[in-house]
Amino acid sequence: MNAFLELLTKLKRSSNRDLQKSYLTDYYAAVSSAEILYAIFFLSNKQQKHYIKLNDVKSFILEHATIKEWLLEASNEVTGDWAETYSLVMEDTSQEFISLSVAYQWLMQVTMLPWEKRMNTAHARTCHLHQDIRTFMMKWWMGNGRFTLTAQVLVQSLASFTGLTEDIIAQKLDEGFEPDKVDFKTLFYRFDNLKFKPVPFFKGTAIQEIPPLPLDSYSVEYLYSGKRCQIILTRGNVYIWTRSGEVLEGFVDAFQFWKNDIPDDTIFEGQWLAEDASISSKSGFSKRKRIDITASRFVMYDLLKVGGRYVYNEPYHVRRQMLDEVFPKQPDVRISIGEALRITTHADILYTRQLAAQKKYKGLIFKESAGKYGDEKGTAWLKLKNQPQKLMVVLLYVAKASAGQPYTEYTFGIRWQDQFLPITKAYEGLTNEEQRCIDEYVKQHTIEKFGPVKSIEPKLVFEISYEEIQASARHRSGVVLKSPKILRWLKEETVAAVATKEDINQLIINVE
Amino acid sequence: MSELLINTKNGLYCPQADVFIDPTGRVDRAVITHGHADHARPGHQRYLCTVDAAPVIKFRLTSNINIQTLPYGASVNINSVKISFHPAGHIIGSAQVRLEYKGEIWVVSGDYKLGSDGISAPFEPVHCHTFITESTFGMPIYQWKEQAFLMNEINDWWKKNQQNGIVSVIQAYSLGKAQRIIQNIDNTIGTIITHPSVESTNAVLRQQGINMAETSELNSKITKQQLLSGLIIAPPGTVENLLKSKGYTVSVAAASGWMAIQKYRQRGGIDKGFVLSDHADWNELNKAVKDCKAERVLVTHGYEDIFSKWLNEQGIEAHSLKNFYK
Ligand SMILES: [Zn+2]
Ligand SMILES: [Zn+2]
């Protein structure tokens, strides 16, 4: 920590940037890479939060140093810094040094405490330390830790130390990091973590009714299923960000050769239409090699940044035009531009809704041609989801949350050859009376018990609804349903009416 | 009743004895606490100081001054005023001045410190009725560390520079701080190289019998190797630029009580500050006031208003010297 404090003093003493840079690079060369990380953390640290209140510091000193307030104030006039006044007045005979990492730990620990304990703990923790360290730490706690080093100086010094470009360093520092959770190498030399940030995803507004005609001021498109992504092409790298904040590692190759045609520093938005819903789990990409990524594809429908210039505030029709212009003439076959649908009549809407359902898309989206990406009201995008789909299924298992309660978890199945395959669970949609009848049926027709779960004779037929169906290698039925609900109990129907695996396959094959 | 000492434009004056203490203007008879330039000035008819302070004062002011000396504890009578010197612990030969007239005792502290520095006679508290104290560091933010700790800091800085091919320059006035560092530094690390003004003062002190570690004067005989491994002790601003212009990397340190304050440490021209002072810190000032058992304290030379207000709050009658005589 000694070296770091000396560095700080030197940096404060000189405003000459070249000199500051040389102090920094000398320092990097002299200390361990772990210490450098902590140093960078403090030097680039923008925190101005107050973790300890000035009043708590003052009353602590007044209580322990037996001086009066006027003398304390007069003392502070000399130093001009309460943290320093504190550490000078509360001078301790021992003058120990600690490492920067320990200082960091203690700094953080105090911030976790309730307010009333912080000052006492901070003092108890640090009173045996060298006065310069105590000043430094108290400054930080008091929200005065910000050190006004020009960001550029830090970036340039690190660039020359690491051999990386300033852009990359700036990006890494901008993301922030916790020096105790990462090492120098990982932070600076792992480019797969170099997460050039996406633009905040625009949510839009869900609507239930078809918007009134005419729709001249809108562009109508499919509301795709799959994963919404922003594809960032920058500095020779491709980053595919999902809306949930993951960076996808698969599919990057599809953009690899593409990026040569695109101006550097460009962000597209599009949808990844994955065939298999199980890919969408984070681990799916790295671990599940069996999944054929070529079976999925990307539909691009927006342009948010081009050649380093953000364009998300341009009207949508302008962005679409730009998208057409920058889009390569021969893209990878897996990448296409989303189509704009021609809608003039009410019948057109009904028809395209039907098409959307057939294509297994979520529905339609109406984008205001003059709208920005992300308007304040959120009405620049109106999302009309498909009407729920229906399926006839048979009840296979029941389970209850606790003994003495009625069954509340129902597992339904479809037919496959001469057996039944579970397809989904559902919880809602039955009346109390129906629940009681089922309880009665279970008593008579239980086949096996697995803990709280009972398998029953597959005779009861239900109609369920769902919003979306997706292929899934992880489910025996090969599909997962989104938002399944029990619509009704079809007491007249027999299992012959229950959907088969073939029926289900029909539902999912048609992804184009 | 008039006071034993009064404040005049020439400084503290004792009308009964017709002597001034550390006078600013030219006077007939001057009692000098120590050899620093703000205390020992040229141009007086007669000087009175300690035996140990005299050689340096002569050296600095010319040898033909009329100077009378007293050992610590001995006294002279001047028109019934008994005047004696007592160790102030500030630098070699520095003294508090005790004046006694008709049972009334005043002590003028001069500059002082309580901590032993290994080279000057340690401070002795002197009982008195009125104590005139300095207050250079009369604030609770000034609390010194042990000398041994500070010397270790200096040793470490020196060693580190040595390893990195950096020339170590420590700024110190030629009388006082320079000798304190020479005496206490670990001279097995390398050569102690002194600026000629420091070295000439050393010569005077050695001649009067002060034992001091070996030093080499900074001149053309000093080799590059000695410069890179040695510790240069020089008054501020005398050698740094010269060395830099010759292509050396130089680390400049300052040793002073002011180095306790970050903003002073961060001033240009200094790379490292050591909080090493020859003045009393907050605790020492308080202890000195207590130990002399004075009924009244007059505060000068520093934070006069603050320290006197503080003393009054502690139940000790105190005034700032300048207000007291208004
Ligand atoms: Zn002095
Ligand atoms: Zn002085």
In this structure, the dihedral spanned by the alpha carbons of residues A475, A479, A480 and A485, taken in order and rounded to 10 degrees, is: -120
Q: Which ligand is nearest to the CA of B112?
A: 1
Is A95 part of the contact surface with chain B (CB cutoff 8 Å)? yes
Residues of A in contact with B148 (CB under 8 A): none
Three-state SS sequence of B40-56: CCCCCCEEEEECCCHHH
Residues of B in contact with A81 (CB under 8 A): 262-263
Structure tokens that stand for A433 in this block: 């009376």
A176 vs chain B: nearest CA distance in angstroms? Answer: 29
Contacts of A34 (CB under 8 A, 6+ apart): A101, A179, A183, A184
Amino acid at A347: A
Long-range contacts formed by B272-275: CB under 8 A, 24+ apart: B272/A6, B272/B157, B274/B150, B274/B153, B274/B154, B274/B157, B274/B170, B275/B144, B275/B145, B275/B150
**From the list A9, A14, A85, which residue is nearest B141 (CB)?**
A85
Closest listed residue to residue A22, CA positions, set A10, A40, A31 = A10
Q: HSE on the CB side for B136, CA within 13 Å?
A: 16
Amino acid at B85: F
Note the pLDDT tens digit of each residue in B36-87.
999 999 999 999 999 999 999 999 998 899 999 999 999 999 999 999 999 9
Residues of A in contact with B139 (CB under 8 A): 71, 74-75, 78
Residue A489 per-residue DSSP state:
E
Is A71 part of the contact surface with chain B (CB cutoff 8 Å)? yes
Please report the pLDDT score of residue A289 as a whole number: 32
Whether B262 and A81 lie within 8 Å, measured CB to CB: yes
The CATH 3.60.15.10 domain(s) of chain B lie at: 6-141+279-320
* Burial (CB count within 10 angstroms: exposed 0-12, middle 13-18, buried 19+), residue A105: middle
Contact B2, B16 (CB under 8 A): no
Is A330 part of the contact surface with chain B (CB cutoff 8 Å)? no
Residue of A nearest to B266 (CA): A13
Protein fold of A205-385: D-amino Acid Aminotransferase; Chain A, domain 1 (3.30.470)
Q: How far apart are the first and last CA of chain B?
A: 16
Is B265 part of the contact surface with chain A (CB cutoff 8 Å)? yes
Contact A25, A157 (CB under 8 A): yes
A149 vs chain B: nearest CA distance in angstroms? Answer: 15
Whether B260 and A88 lie within 8 Å, measured CB to CB: yes
Can you tell me the distance from the alpha carbon of A368 to that of A215, in angstroms, rounded to the nearest whole number? Answer: 9
Domain B6-141+279-320 of CATH type 2.10.109.10:
no
Can you tell me the distance from the alpha carbon of B134 to that of B321, in angstroms, rounded to the nearest whole number? Answer: 10
Percent of chain A past pLDDT 70, that is, above it, reads: 90
| CATH number corresponding to A389-511 | 2.40.50.140
Can you tell me which residue has the tokens 């000052």? A119
The CATH 3.30.470.30 domain(s) of chain A lie at: 205-385
Q: Please tell me whether residue B293 adopts helix, strand or coil conformation.
A: coil
Is A25 part of the contact surface with chain B (CB cutoff 8 Å)? no
Q: CA A456: distance to chain centroid?
A: 42
Residue of B nearest to A7 (CA): B271
Strands (E), A369-466: 381-385, 389-399, 409-416, 419-426, 446-450, 453-456, 461-466
Q: HSE on the CB side for A231, CA within 13 Å?
A: 30
**From the list A68, A78, A93, which residue is nearest B139 (CB)?**
A78
**From the list A13, A70, A71, which residue is nearest B266 (CB)?**
A13
B71 vs chain A: nearest CA distance in angstroms? Answer: 36
Sheet holding B6-8, edge to edge: B6-8, B11-14, B19-21, B29-31, B46-50, B67-70
Q: Which ligand is nearest to the CA of B36?
A: 1
B272 vs chain A: nearest CA distance in angstroms? Answer: 8
Question: Residue A420 forms beta bridges with which residues?
Answer: A415
Is A13 part of the contact surface with chain B (CB cutoff 8 Å)? yes
Residues of A in contact with B268 (CB under 8 A): 13-14
Cα B96 to ligand 2 centre (Å): 12
Strands (E), B202-288: 216-217, 231-234, 250-255, 272-274
Q: Collect the ranges in chain A with pLDDT lower than 70.
A: 46-47, 146-148, 190-196, 249-251, 259, 274-295, 508-512
Whether B142 and A88 lie within 8 Å, measured CB to CB: yes
Protein fold of B147-274: Rossmann fold (3.40.50)
Helices (H) and strands (E) counted in chain A, each on its own, are: 18, 20
Residue of A nearest to B260 (CA): A88
Contact A229, A375 (CB under 8 A): no
User: A17-30 and A2-13 are packed helices; what angle lies between their axes, rounded to 10 degrees?
Assistant: 170
Question: Residue A221 forms beta bridges with which residues?
Answer: A365
Q: Please tell me whether residue A229 adopts helix, strand or coil conformation.
A: strand
Amino acid at B294: A
Question: Residue A500 forms beta bridges with which residues?
Answer: A415
- Each residue of A72-93: b (16+ CB within 10 Å) or e? bebbbebbebbbbbbbbbbbbe
Structure tokens that stand for B309 in this block: 């207000």
**From the list B145, B146, B310, which residue is nearest A71 (CB)?**
B310
Whether B140 and A9 lie within 8 Å, measured CB to CB: no
The CATH 1.10.3260.10 domain(s) of chain A lie at: 2-141
Closest listed residue to residue B128, CA positions, set B291, B325, B281 = B291
Can you tell me the distance from the alpha carbon of A273 to that of A277, in angstroms, rounded to the nearest whole number? Answer: 9
Amino acid at B158: W
- Each residue of B261-284: b (16+ CB within 10 Å) or e? bbebbbeeebbbbbbbbbbbbbeb
Is B315 part of the contact surface with chain A (CB cutoff 8 Å)? no
Closest listed residue to residue B254, CA positions, set B228, B281, B234 = B234
Note the pLDDT tens digit of each residue in A449-479.
888 889 999 999 999 988 777 777 777 888 8
Angle, CA of B180, B182 and B184, to the nearest 5°: 70
Q: Please tell me whether residue A278 adopts helix, strand or coil conformation.
A: helix
Residue of B nearest to A87 (CA): B141
Question: Residue A298 forms beta bridges with which residues?
Answer: A272, A335
Contacts of B91 (CB under 8 A, 6+ apart): B34, B35, B36, B111, B120, B175, B176, B179, B180, B278
Residues of B in contact with A94 (CB under 8 A): none
Can you tell me the distance from the alpha carbon of A139 to that of A83, in angstroms, rounded to the nearest whole number? Answer: 5
Question: Residue B29 forms beta bridges with which residues?
Answer: B46
- The per-residue pLDDT string of chain B (326 residues; one tens digit each, 9 = 90 and over) reads 589 999 999 999 999 999 999 999 999 999 999 999 999 999 999 999 999 999 999 999 988 999 999 999 999 999 999 999 999 999 999 999 999 999 999 999 999 999 999 999 999 999 999 999 999 999 999 999 999 999 999 999 999 999 999 999 999 989 999 999 999 999 999 999 999 999 999 999 999 999 999 999 999 899 999 999 999 999 998 899 899 999 999 999 999 999 999 888 887 688 899 999 999 999 999 999 999 999 999 999 999 999 999 999 999 999 999 888 87
Contacts of A129 (CB under 8 A, 6+ apart): A94, A95, A96, A97, A98, A137
The CATH 3.40.50 domain(s) of chain B lie at: 147-274
- Multiple choice CATH, A2-141, 1.10.3260.10, 3.40.50.300, 3.30.70.250, 1.10.3720.10: 1.10.3260.10
Residue B249 per-residue DSSP state:
-
The CATH 2.40.50.140 domain(s) of chain A lie at: 389-511
- What is the number of CB-based contacts under 8 A between chain A and chain B? 56
**B contact residues 132-191, partner A, Cβ 8 Å cutoff:** 139-143, 145-146, 149
